[in-house]
């Protein structure tokens, strides 16, 4: 039997995906690069005392200097030492889609796009997968062949309901595993639908883990949603199935039910937004009923312009 990584048909399809994403992004960005780094060829490391005549004043850490009344600089880590890691949520809820795309396809596409756009500043990229309550790890590698192998691994993961009824690890545990096992500084990308977030109050189960990762790394969170998760159509009696637990329930979609569902969905999305804001991460929302490549390009352009404005007004940042 041919393995997913060596199947020529699969590799051909993955190459087409690679080229399609690259060509569209290059056309939309016109040479723009993803603004996820503090500066060309460097990543912030630990603050230390300034050494006159030895350290570059452009690396001065003004916040630490003001707090301690002693000049401090931040070391930088060379590009060759940087790693990019993606946590890809492949839970059963990601196999849902009612419009142009399935959430899993958008999530995988986002992983490809970010990996391709950051390869110039991160030699190696790896991934953790949350699939059916199990955390799986894919080692950090570099190059297009490694990306194709990564995509083949994702393609080989079974879809559909969790046969164990939703047991095992959740997003919080997957984030804890990522933070504990990947200590080297770099970019962290988290792609999920965040459907385990409570709608009305309560502790967000993954927020603390997300905040810990963001305190050490640069983090981009890609939230993937489907329009039917935000609102329900007027179609009368329906049978709803929880893809994680497998539970089934018959529901009559009256106006009152639809309004309560809409309010709960809106509250849940707001909980996600606020938790990510408190964590200090960059937040990109992609929808299955939109052109996700175009939305990524717009996000990239916005990030780059924001970074450029900050560098013009921040003392000690190279222009």
Q: What is the mean pLDDT of residues 98-114?
A: 89
Sign of the dihedral through C-alpha 208, 95, 182, 67:
negative
Between 222 and 143, whose confidence is greater?
A: 222
pLDDT at position 308: 61
Q: What is the mean pLDDT of residues 117-138?
A: 83
Per-residue pLDDT for 166 more than 60? no
Length of the chain in terms of residues written: 319
> For the chain, how far is it from start to end, CA to CA, in angstroms?
55
CB 159 within 8 A of CB 117: no
Q: What is the mean pLDDT of residues 252-277?
A: 93
**Helix locations, 77-185, DSSP H:** 103-118, 144-156, 171-181
CA dist 187 → 91, 175, 243 (Å):
23, 14, 31
Name the token pair of 265: 């969905």
CB 171 within 8 A of CB 34: no
CA 282 from chain centre, in angstroms, equals: 9
């Amino acid at each position: 039997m041919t393995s997913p990584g060596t199947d020529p048909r699969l590799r051909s399809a993955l190459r087409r995906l690679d080229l399609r994403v690259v060509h569209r992004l290059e056309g939309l960005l016109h040479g723009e690069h993803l603004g996820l780094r503090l500066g060309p060829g460097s990543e912030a490391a630990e603050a230390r005392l300034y050494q006159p005549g030895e350290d570059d004043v452009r690396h001065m850490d003004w916040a630490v200097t003001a707090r301690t009344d002693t000049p401090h600089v931040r070391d930088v880590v060379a590009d060759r030492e940087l790693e990019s890691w993606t946590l890809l949520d492949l839970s059963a809820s990601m196999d849902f889609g009612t419009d142009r795309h399935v959430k899993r396809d958008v999530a995988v596409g986002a992983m490809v796009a970010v990996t391709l756009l950051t390869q110039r500043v991160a030699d190696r990229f790896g991934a953790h997968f949350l699939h059916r309550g199990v955390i799986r790890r894919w080692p950090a590698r570099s190059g297009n062949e490694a990306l194709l192998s990564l995509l083949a691994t994702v393609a080989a993961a079974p879809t559909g309901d969790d046969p164990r009824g939703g047991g095992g690890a959740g997003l919080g545990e997957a984030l804890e595993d990522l933070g504990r096992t990947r200590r080297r500084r770099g970019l962290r990308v988290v792609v999920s639908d965040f459907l385990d977030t409570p709608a009305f109050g309560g502790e967000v189960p993954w927020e603390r883990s997300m905040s810990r990762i963001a305190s050490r790394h640069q983090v981009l969170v890609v939230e993937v949603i489907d329009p039917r998760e935000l609102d329900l159509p007027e179609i009368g009696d329906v049978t709803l199935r929880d893809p994680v637990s497998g539970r089934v329930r018959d529901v009559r979609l009256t106006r009152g039910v639809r309004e309560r569902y809409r309010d709960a969905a809106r509250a849940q999305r707001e909980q996600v937004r606020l938790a990510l804001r408190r964590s200090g991460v960059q937040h990109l929302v992609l929808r299955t009923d939109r052109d996700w490549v175009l939305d990524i390009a717009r996000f990239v352009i916005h990030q780059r312009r924001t970074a450029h404005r900050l560098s013009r007004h921040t003392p000690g940042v190279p222009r």
